[in-house]
Amino acid sequence: MNAYRSKSLSFPWPPLIYSGAVLIALYLQRYDPLPLPFIWSIIAWAIGAILTAFAVMLNVWAVKTLVERRTTVLTQRCSTHLVTSGPFRFTRNPTYLGYTLLTAGLGLMIGNLWFVAMAAVAAALTTLLVIRCEEMHLLSRFGCEFEFYCKHTRRWF
């Protein structure tokens, strides 16, 4: 039996990856701050607020869609359905996109540009450690249907 068929991950990596990114950003800001001029900090706060609001709405919409389709929200459980509606029409990973935008948005709001850099690092690690395994799981479970979905929907945005 295919090892990816039963579940995609054995450990919930995304919360750990993004929490680690936040902690590293806080550490870097303390020892090597990246200051923003005052006028730019106001603009950064506004952009950060918009990103944060969008990220929260995107995550709520994604979880709501998964629950409505009666499939798992947790990465370490087996998917019962291939969800291609809701935010999954636009991106294959709306929750991870939401985590990334939330990390960057919060960083802009508090004036810590390291958050933005670490959001990019967290997105890259999520792709390598999580998304590739999840995609193998979905490919083994849903085959051609998942391949078709991948051809028509971007991984991130």
Instruction: Specify the pTM.
Output: 0.88
Question: What span, in angstroms and rounded, lies between the C-alpha atoms of 155 and 137?
Answer: 15
pLDDT given at position 136: 87
SS3 label, residue 154? strand
CA angle 43, 124, 22 (to 5 degrees): 55
pLDDT given at position 88: 94
Q: Show the tokens assigned to 140.
A: 């083994």
Question: What span, in angstroms and rounded, lies between the C-alpha atoms of 104 and 51?
Answer: 8
pLDDT given at position 1: 46
pLDDT given at position 140: 86
**Which amino acid appears at position 138 of this protein?**
L
Residues of the chain with pLDDT under 70: 1-12, 74-76
For the chain, which residues make up each domain, given as ranges?
A: 37-152
Q: Which helix (DSSP H) or strand (DSSP E) does residue 73 occupy? A: none
